[in-house]
Amino acid sequence: MLAAAGVVAGGLALSGCTVPSFGASPGDTTSSRSVFHLWQGFSIGALIIGGLVVALIVWAVVRYRRHGERIPDQHQYHIPLEMTYTIVPILIVLGLFAATMVVENKEVANPRTNVRIDVNAFQWGWKFTYPGSNAVVVGQTTQAPTMVMPVDTNVHINLTSSDVVHGFYVKAFNFSRYALPGVLNQFTLRAVATGTFFGQCTQLCGLYHSLMWFNVKVVTPSQYTAWLASFHGSAAATAAAAAAAAVRQQTSSLVPTKLATTTGTH
């Protein structure tokens, strides 16, 4: 039980101070921060257990170092000790597994929400559609279209691909998902800070893969509502139709074309 007690004591001792990041970033979503805290816990546990193992090795080397030619007394079958160093590691592994399952369940959970964005990847750009409104944002290569979403709100994402395998990746969110042709990949993002964050495709998808960029702009709920409202009217509908036509041209020719009209300027 010594190792388990050490892990608990170490956690309590470190709870009152700033815990190091151990080379990771907390990210700007609730799920990324849950993963970050799990990583911190794993790292602290590894340091405590590793320190205990090293201490025991050093103690054994010093305590039982050779004295002259006499062979030290030999002992075996210490049942309580053998049970301890068998059961304690099992308990530690079960604890780490349980903590991982809790975080993973949060990662894949899709809570009910009224905010939904359909994300479609194509060679070599992105289309963001907002069901229930006229909002459509399209762009390709270095145009970096912007996906707008509200802060502190569960946002359901439906991710698809029109052609080949793409990767939806936002570095600041510590998040990546495949965009697969013929497959609907669903997930939920909940940003905890406003700002504009860079995203890109992470799967080699053809000639202009390295220029397949996009942005995620996180705004306040009121700003998000006003942004959606700005797409109402015939002008917005015409712009959305033109953008959709440009996407069809893009995906059919597989050659980057400058969009004649795009709604991604908001």
Choose the final residue of a domain: 108, 130, 160: 108
* pLDDT at site 225: 92
Amino acid, res. 137: V
Global pTM reads 0.71
What share of the chain in percent tops pLDDT 90?
Answer: 39
Choose the final residue of a domain: 73, 108, 143: 108
pLDDT band for 252, please (50, 70, 90 cuts): low
Q: Please determine, for residue 240, whether its predicted confidence score (pLDDT) is greater than 80.
A: no
Are 200 and 121 in contact, with CB atoms under 8 Å apart? no
Which residue from 155, 154, 166, 153 is spatially nearest to 127, judged by alpha carbons?
Answer: 166
- If one compares 36 and 252, the residue with the highest pLDDT of the two is 36
Query: Both 156 and 206 in a single domain?
Result: yes
CA dist list (Å): 87 to 4, 57, 79: 10, 20, 12
- Bridge partners of 138, per DSSP, are 127
- DSSP E strands in the chain: the ranges are 115-122, 125-129, 136-140, 146-150, 155-161, 166-170, 175-179, 185-189, 195-200, 213-219
* CATH number of the CATH domain containing 233: 2.60.40.420
Question: What does the pLDDT look like over 141-191, one tens digit per residue?
Answer: 788 899 999 999 999 999 999 999 999 999 989 889 999 999 999 999 999
* pLDDT at site 264: 42
The DSSP call for residue 20 is: P
Q: Please determine, for residue 86, whether its predicted confidence score (pLDDT) is greater than 80.
A: yes
Q: Rounded distance, CA 161 to CA 182, Å?
A: 7
Query: Both 227 and 183 in a single domain?
Result: yes
Q: Which residue has the tokens 């042709």?
A: 181
**Chain centroid to CA 166: how far?**
16
Question: What does the pLDDT look like over 211-226, one tens digit per residue?
Answer: 999 999 999 999 999 9
CA dist list (Å): 63 to 38, 59, 66: 37, 6, 9
Are 264 and 139 in contact, with CB atoms under 8 Å apart? yes
Report angle CA 174, 142, 230 to the nearest 5 degrees.
Answer: 80
Q: Please determine, for residue 1, whether its predicted confidence score (pLDDT) is greater than 60.
A: no
Query: Both 130 and 149 in a single domain?
Result: yes
167 occurs within a structural domain? yes
Query: Both 132 and 236 in a single domain?
Result: yes
Query: Both 127 and 17 in a single domain?
Result: no
Q: Please determine, for residue 261, whether its predicted confidence score (pLDDT) is greater than 50.
A: no
* pLDDT at site 202: 92
259 occurs within a structural domain? no
* pLDDT at site 79: 86
Residue-number span of the structural domain to which 232 is assigned: 115-253
CA dist list (Å): 127 to 14, 94, 113, 168, 189: 45, 43, 21, 12, 17
Q: Please determine, for residue 235, whether its predicted confidence score (pLDDT) is greater than 70.
A: no
Q: Which residue has the tokens 């497959």?
A: 183
Choose the final residue of a domain: 39, 73, 108: 108
Which residue from 207, 197, 144 is spatially nearest to 170, judged by alpha carbons?
Answer: 197
Q: Rounded distance, CA 128 to CA 234, Å?
A: 19
